[in-house]
Each structure stands twice: as C-alpha cells, then as structure tokens.
Amino acid sequence: MQKSTDKNHEPSKLGSFFASDTFKGLLPFIGLVVIVVAMNILTQGKILTPKRLRLLLSQVYYPMIVATGVFFVMTLGSIDFTEGSTLGLASIVISKLSFYSIPLAILGGILTGAAIGAINGFFHVKFKLQSFIITICTMYLFRGVCAYLTTETAVPASAAIKALDMNWLKITITVAVLLVAWFLFRFTRIGNDVKAVGSGETAARFSGVKTDRVKFLAFVAAGALTGVAAFVNVIKVGSITATAGNQLETQILIALVLGGLPITGGAKVRFSNIIVGTLMYTVLNNGLVMLGYESQTQQLIKGVIFLIFVALTIDRKALKVIK
Amino acid sequence: MEKRTLLVADSIDKRFGITHAVDNVSLTIDAGEIRGLIGENGSGKSTFSQMLCGIYSIGGGTFRLDGKELHVRNQVEANNEGIAIIVQEMGTLSGLTVAENIFLGHEEPFMHFGVKDARAMNKEGQRLLDEYGFGHIKAADMIDHYNFEDRKLVEIVKATYMKPKILVIDETTTALSQNGRLELYKIMDAIRADGRTVIFISHDLGEVLSHTDTVTVLRDGEYIDTVRSADMTEDDLKRLMVGREIGSAYYRTDYGEPISDEVVLTVENVSVPHEISNVSFQLHRGEILGFGGLSECGMHEVGKAIFAASWDRTGTVKLADGTEIDSITTAIRHSIAYASKDRDNESVILNESIRNNIVLPSIDDLASHGLLSGRKLTAFADKHATDMQTKMQSVNQFVSDLSGGNKQKVVLARWIGKGSNILVLDSPTRGIDVRVKQAIYALMADLRKQGKSIIMISEEIPELLGMADRILIMKDGVINGEFRRDPALSEEDLIAKMV
C-alpha cells in the first residue's frame, strides 16, 4: 500500500508558477479584472455607470447562451463556425412563426438550430470530416439562405413577441440555460464523456465512450442553444436583416478563449470559461466603442489580445505529446 | 586487442526542475566494446545517452572522446564527432523518402550548386540498404509506405553508415521482430570487430547478457557498478538495478495444472481484411491463453477483433451464454477488458487525470439515477489505483506525468475496477521495468486463480513460456501452431512456428 509522493512534478520556482496550470486557471479572472479596471480608467469611469452597465448586460445574454453550446463542441477539441448563420436563420423562423403562436415560434427556432447542428454533426461523425471544414461550408450555405430570405425586405416579428422584451425574462432564460448546462456538465456522464473525447478520442472509445454519439449530440446542442439565443435576439431587435448574427462565431470563439478555454479542448476546460469569457469580451467590445476607436482599430486590438491569450492558455502537451 | 579508452564521462549531471535525472555519473568505455546500459524506468540511462548525443544539453560535467572534450549542441554535430543514436521512439520523418531520411542533415555530397541530385541520393541509399541486407526497402519510396519495424531498419542504416565511433542503441529491439533483432546484433558485432563501440540500452536482460561485453547499471540517476557480462546472471543484474533481492517468483512456477473445460469465449472464423483470416479458438475459465508471433503476424489485431474494435471484422465472437460481441460497448458491458499495445493512444487518455481514466468504463455503475458524485468517483479511483500500487501524488495527477509502468497500472486498475472477467492484454509489459513487470505477472497469476480468463498477446517469448497455460502462434494472419504449458517447451519450438 504505497502511495509515494513523486517529487518530479511540483513546480518550485516563480518562473514555473507562470507556466503552471494554477496560473493558467487564474489568468482569465485576472484578465477580466484588468480589462474592467483599464476600461474604467480609460473611459474615466463612464463604463461603470448604471446606464452603461444595463446596456452591457443587454449585450451579454445571447452571446452567453450561444457560448454555452459552443463550449461543449470546443471541449471535444472541435470547432463550430455556424453560430452566426444559425442565429440568423433561426431568428427568421421565429419571426415568421411569431404571428401564429409564441411557443411554436420558440420551438421552431430551437428545432432550426438543432437541425443545423445535426447536419454538422452528421458530416463530422459519418464522413470523418474535420469540424473546421464542415462548419465553414455550412456557415456559407446558411448565410446564403438567410440572404435569400431577406433580399426583398427585413423580416419583421410580431408585436406580441416584441412585447416580451423584458430584462427579467432574458436574465431568467440565460441563467436557466447556464444552470442546466452546468448540471449536465458537472453531475452526469456527459461532462466526463466530452472531456474524455477532447483529451484522447481513441482511448476514450476503447474505454466504452460512445464517441460518435457524444460528438453528434454536442453539435446538436450547440445548434439548439443558438436557437434559444435567436429567440432572445428576436425579442430585442424585432426585425431580422441579412446581417443578423454576422461574425457571431468569431466573437464566441474569442470570448471562450479569453475565458481560458484551451482550443484543444479536453480535461482542462472549466465551466467558468463561458461566463468569464463572455463578460470579458463584452466589456472589451464596449470599452473600445466608447473610446471612439474606428472599427478597423477595434478589430486590430481584439486580434492582438486574442493572440496573446491563445499563446498563454494553449495546452502544448495536447498538441504534441512530449515525454 | 589492446585496450584503448574511447569515451570518458566525467561527473555528468542533469536536472529537470527538481528531478535529479542524472547524478554525477562518471564512467569510461573502451574502443571495441559493446557496453550494456541498464536500469529501471527513470534511472537516467536514456537521459545520460541523449546528453552524449546532443539531444539534451549537458547539465554538468564533461564527455571526452579520444581525449578531446565534446561540445555538441545537436544530433548533427554529434554525428560529425562520430556519435550516433537509434532512439526509442519513431526516429524517421514522415513525408520524406527513405533516402532523404538516411541522409537527413548530411545532404552535402548530393548537392550541386544548391540543387539536390535525388537520383544520386537514391542510388547511394539503395546501395547502403542492399549492403545491410535490407534490400526489400526501396530508397526512393516514401518512408510512410513502411511499417514501424522497417522504419527502424532505415534508422539503423542512417545511424551507422557513416561508421560512428560510438553507436547508442536506445531500447530499439522492442520494436523489432526476431529477424530484425538478429540483423541488429550482427551490426553490433561488426562495429566491435571494427574497433568501434556500441552503447546498448535494453530492458531485456537476457538480450543484454548475451550481446554485450560489459554492463553499466544506473539506479535513480546514480552510477551503481560496471560488471563483466560473462560473470553475471539475469538475477544478478536485477538485484543491482533494484537494489534488493527481487525474489525468484518472476513468472508462474506451476506446471501440469489442468485447464478448465468451461469455455467462456468462442471466436469463430474471425477475419479482418489484410490482417487476419479465419481465426478460431476457444478461451477457458481461469486460463491464460498466450498469443505469439512476429510483430506483423496479426496477433495484435486478434485482440482488437475480440474487443470489437477492428474496423471491418467478419465472423463471430461469442460468450458462453450466446451473447455476440459486436461493439466495444457490448464487450465492456459483458465483462471484456482490453489493454492495447499502443498504450499512449489507445489505452490511457494522456491529458486527463488518473481518476477520470480509471472511472471511464465504470461510470454508469457509479452513477445513481444518472447522477455522478465527484467524491464517489475519486474514492473508487483511489481504491483501485492504490491497490495496484500506482506511484502517484494523487488520483488528480495527469497520466501524461507517469512512467510507462505506472500508466499500465492505471489501465489495469481501470479494468479490475470494472470487474472484467475476460482480459485481453496486448503486450502488457512492453517497455516496463523489472519491478512493475513482476507486479503485473503476479496480478495475472492472481486473476487466473480467481477464475478470470486472460488473453496475453506478447512479442516476448520467455513471457509466453512463463505465464501462459496454452500458447497459439500466429503467422501471416492465421494460427500456425498450438502449445500446452510445459517446462520442456523451448523458445526454438515457438520460433519454428513463427517464421
């Protein structure tokens, strides 16, 4: 009964602290504080006024719901680029159905998203295509469908659905999505399975994980949750144009990586990545707008910050296993 | 021949973080000597030789070759000084031709005004391959067309054609079949006859004793002793490596125990395209059934086929109650366990904790109403990892941090925890040191006594002779011979059916 203490792997020096998992785990939280403080100083306190905060909050809901779904896909070590066009298409479906029945509209939105997720998942699993390739293809495909449906004019939603634009409802939906996802991730085998696939797919399959089913369901979940987000989007904006959800996928990707999610997925993902990341991205985005930077400059700054975070948080061991 | 000192290592030292991998090691090696370098996993033998070859930087101390201090920063510089290495892992680069691999870093003779003369390179490469007797490998082919063993042979050519003063062979023979090994031994003898030197690192002590002149033993990074191979037995070496008496019970010692009549698994006409054809056999309760053969004989695929992990399997694998095993999940649910030869990719999830590796197949058993309790999972993993005496800080440690032997313990803990009754173990002691090997053999004997059945696929003939109740030898994808456990059975008997 020997449980020896293997001394080989305790980081001892300060230098190794910065390379340690503890530091990598704390980095997103530190980043969030730094960005909030920096933006507060740069905007001379304007970003923390109640009015601004309310605006900030209103921009958090739907990215956070979408990020929750994508979180599962990225934990697998896969990627999903379809959120933007899924959100656009699901918003159109919800708007059209909202004239008949609100519950039907919600259901239609979720089903639209789930269907797109199922298409992605099917090609990924059955044809062993990389998720990166498939979702780029389907992104263009459904962006095209959105453009076609909105060529004549923007698609309006019913007054009934617009009347639902209340903060408490949006908060409730967002919190409910987070709670359910957290519960599934933490207390059922779903969380274990997605992490196992992300860390080592073959070994996971050989240990009894139904890897194909897990991957398929993750894409369906990402699509379905984007459908939920589309409902929140519709009650907020009221009419859908061709650009609805434009570049949402990259925003979500950046948010999750800022939140500390390793792009290789696997065992080191944390559920908090979703919340911290989305908040960080939204504050950063708002701050840059308030500072009056042109959109090109904003993109440039976001790109640099994104690069720094990827470099700091990426799990090099997972990319190429070193002995 | 008169003795001439070729290499002097003076107080060689290396630390990784706080691990003292090589602790002040001094030794001398003569020209015209084959020197074995042995030690348990983590004893520092690979690190020591990799410093010599410029793969790792030297932490402290000096190497002197022919009296001249060495300052090499990488493998190519080491090659130029006359030091070459054949590494444990895959040492050839995919996407290049065989010839490009052989001459990697030494292309100058084939360059004309900055343009590579591929034809000349292929011609010279082929000449070397033929000279070594590896004519079945074509210099102009992409290296990817060849299997692991042939790629090792290419590495051997690459490492030796320039006639290095010192050739380091790091745990290479595990990748080679019997034939490949014989080729390598011939090359080693030729180097010695030429007055040059080989440093031979291997876990296979029988092989070390029969093919070296002297053996240096390292333990926990420290130099222990250098002894003459002719004066030693395997047990002597084990004692030096471990630092205590290892005990005589290494393999099973019982003979003549009858095999139960109760059949637990029937394999009928199982084929996998290009791998195995019409393999049929039965596994009995409490039996260790050994599978042996050359590395490409298909025996490894048999393990996968039983576990329903082969891509295109035909034929049936049936349990005693008639259940057909047609998917991995069915196999696991019906008490079949599988430990792959490719431990790092197919058995353990490297970038995941010991805990999550162990609980994976048992997760549904551990859930109540579909809900998991972290504490329960940790307790389960901790119990089984501790029972296996896994060397770890806690079950939250990542598997990637563990040595080969401890990784295998995690795999076994996983299946013992699941309570599997039929264990398919492919190369269970591959690359594992003596102490852990002994523990694994003891566990197998114990499981057998409990009435569990084991299929042990192995490239090590002594292991088959020592552990199995029955041995099936495969050749070219079919079963070519069957042997009962018998003290009179010899390695030659088995080899005769393999080749």
The distance between the two most distant Cα atoms of chain A, rounded to a whole number of Å, is 75
Confidence category of residue A15, pLDDT binned at 50, 70, 90: low
Lowest mean pLDDT among A220-224, B349-353, B492-496: B492-496
* Mutation to test the A interface, candidates B23, B360, B395, most A Cβ within 10 Å: B360
Does residue B492 or residue A181 have the better pLDDT? A181
Distances (CA, A) of A306 to A253, A263, A277, A302: 10, 12, 11, 6
pLDDT digits (tens, 9 = 90+) for B119-168: 999 999 999 999 888 889 999 999 988 888 888 889 899 988 889 999 99
DSSP states of B174-192: GGS-HHHHHHHHHHHHHHH
Task: Please report, as a single letter, which amino acid is at residue B378.
Answer: T
Rounded to the nearest 5°, which phi and psi values hold at B46?
A: -70, -45
State the nearest Cα–Cα gap between A68 and chain B, in angstroms: 21
CA atoms of B351 and B357, how far apart (whole Å) = 10
Q: Tokens representing A166?
A: 């209340």
Examine the pLDDT at A19 and tell me if it is beyond 80.
Answer: no
Q: Tokens representing B223?
A: 């130099």
Residues of B with CB below 8 A from A209's CB? 360
Output the pLDDT for position A294. 87
State the nearest Cα–Cα gap between A209 and chain B, in angstroms: 7
CA atoms of B262 and A57, how far apart (whole Å) = 69
Examine the pLDDT at A7 and tell me if it is beyond 60.
Answer: no
CA atoms of A230 and A236, how far apart (whole Å) = 10
Residues of B with CB below 8 A from A205's CB? 309, 328
To 10 degrees, what angle do helices B434-449 and B234-242 make? 110
Output the pLDDT for position A205. 94
The answer to whether A206 faces chain B, any CB pair under 8 Å, is: yes
Lowest mean pLDDT among A43-57, B183-197, B201-215, B245-259: B245-259
Confidence category of residue B430, pLDDT binned at 50, 70, 90: confident
The residue written with tokens 């990719």 in the block is B345
CB atoms within 10 A of CB B344: 18
Output the pLDDT for position A321. 34
Out of A2, A7, A187, the one facing B389 most closely (by C-beta) is: A2
Q: Summarize the confidence of residues A194-216 as an average pLDDT.
A: 94
Domain B263-498: assigned CATH number? 3.40.50.300
Output the pLDDT for position A12. 45
Q: Domain residues of chain B, as ranges?
A: 5-242, 263-498
Does residue B460 or residue B453 have the better pLDDT? B453
pLDDT digits (tens, 9 = 90+) for B21-62: 899 999 999 999 999 999 887 788 888 998 999 888 898 999
Intra-chain end-to-end CA distance of chain B, in Å: 38
pLDDT digits (tens, 9 = 90+) for B381-393: 999 999 999 888 8
- Enumerate residues 6+ apart whose C-beta is below 8 A from A25: A260, A270
DSSP H/E element including B164: none
pLDDT digits (tens, 9 = 90+) for B340-354: 998 988 999 988 999
β-strand partners of B62: B10
Output the pLDDT for position A4. 39
CA atoms of B59 and B186, how far apart (whole Å) = 34
Apex CA B460: angle with CA B266 and CA B427, to 5°? 55
The residue written with tokens 């196992």 in the block is A196
Residues of B with CB below 8 A from A75's CB? none
The answer to whether A321 faces chain B, any CB pair under 8 Å, is: yes
Pair A94, A234: CB distance under 8 Å:
yes
Q: Tokens representing B404?
A: 């080969």
Q: Tokens representing B421?
A: 């009754």
Q: How many inter-chain contacts (A to B, CB under 8 Å) are there?
A: 113
Output the pLDDT for position B426. 95
Out of A3, A16, A195, the one facing B386 most closely (by C-beta) is: A3
Look at A9 and B17 and tell me if their CB atoms are within 8 Å. Answer: yes
Examine the pLDDT at A318 and tell me if it is beyond 70.
Answer: no
Does residue A154 or residue B348 have the better pLDDT? B348
CB atoms within 10 A of CB B55: 18
Out of A6, A202, A267, the one facing B352 most closely (by C-beta) is: A267
CB atoms within 10 A of CB B224: 17
Pair A51, A160: CB distance under 8 Å:
no
pLDDT digits (tens, 9 = 90+) for B79-111: 889 999 988 777 788 889 999 999 988 888 888
CA atoms of B199 and B320, how far apart (whole Å) = 51
Closest CA in chain A for residue B383: A1
Half-sphere exposure of residue B104: CA atoms within 13 angstroms, side-chain side? 19
Output the pLDDT for position B286. 94
State the nearest Cα–Cα gap between B196 and chain A, in angstroms: 31
Confidence category of residue A14, pLDDT binned at 50, 70, 90: low
- Structural Rg of chain B based on CA atoms: 24
Does residue A195 or residue A21 have the better pLDDT? A195
Q: Which of B192, B176, B185 is nearest to B209 (CA)?
A: B185
Q: Summarize the confidence of residues A95-119 as an average pLDDT.
A: 96
Q: Summarize the confidence of residues B446-461 as an average pLDDT.
A: 94
Output the pLDDT for position B183. 87
Output the pLDDT for position A183. 95
CA atoms of A256 and A261, how far apart (whole Å) = 6
* Torsion region of B157: left, alpha or beta (phi above 0 gives left; psi -120 to 50 gives alpha): alpha
Examine the pLDDT at B246 and tell me if it is beyond 60.
Answer: no
CA atoms of B222 and B44, how far apart (whole Å) = 8
Half-sphere exposure of residue B273: CA atoms within 13 angstroms, side-chain side? 2
CATH for the B5-242 domain, from 3.40.50.970, 3.65.10.10, 3.50.50.60, 3.40.50.300: 3.40.50.300
Q: 3-state secondary structure string, B418-479?
A: HCCCEEEEECCCCCCCHHHHHHHHHHHHHHHHCCCEEEEECCCHHHHHHHCCEEEEEECCEE
Output the pLDDT for position B208. 93
Rounded to the nearest 5°, which phi and psi values hold at A31?
A: -60, -45
Residues of B with CB below 8 A from A199's CB? 349-352
For β-strands B422-426 and B276-284, DSSP reports them as unpaired
Question: Mean pLDDT of all residues in chain A?
Answer: 87
Same fold, B5-242 and B263-498: yes
Confidence category of residue B247, pLDDT binned at 50, 70, 90: low
Q: Summarize the confidence of residues B285-295 as an average pLDDT.
A: 92
Output the pLDDT for position B329. 94
Confidence category of residue A42, pLDDT binned at 50, 70, 90: confident
DSSP states of B198-245: EEEE-S-HHHHHHH-SEEEEEETTEEEEEEEGGG--HHHHHHHHHSS-
Output the pLDDT for position A16. 62
* Mutation to test the A interface, candidates B330, B349, B395, most A Cβ within 10 Å: B349
Q: Which of A145, A170, A161 is nearest to A88 (CA)?
A: A145
The answer to whether A16 faces chain B, any CB pair under 8 Å, is: yes
Confidence category of residue A9, pLDDT binned at 50, 70, 90: very low
Examine the pLDDT at B370 and tell me if it is beyond 90.
Answer: no
Residues of A with CB below 8 A from B353's CB? 267
DSSP states of B39-102: -STTSSHHHHHHHHTTSS---EEEEEETTEEP---SHHHHHHHTEEEE-SS--S-TTSBHHHHH
Q: Which of B339, B476, B471 is nearest to B413 (CA)?
A: B339
Output the pLDDT for position A315. 62
Output the pLDDT for position A11. 40
CA atoms of A39 and A47, how far apart (whole Å) = 7
β-strand partners of B291: B457, B472
Q: Which of A17, A20, A15, A111 is nearest to A313 (CA)?
A: A20
Laid out side by side, the sheet with B60-65 consists of B19-30, B5-16, B60-65, B68-69
Intra-chain end-to-end CA distance of chain A, in Å: 27
Which pairs from B100-103 meet CB under 8 Å and 24+ separation? Answer: B100/B143, B101/B143, B101/B154, B101/B155, B101/B158, B102/B128, B102/B139, B102/B154, B102/B157, B102/B158, B102/B161, B103/B158
CA atoms of B234 and B229, how far apart (whole Å) = 10
Output the pLDDT for position A320. 43
Question: Mean pLDDT of all residues in chain B?
Answer: 90
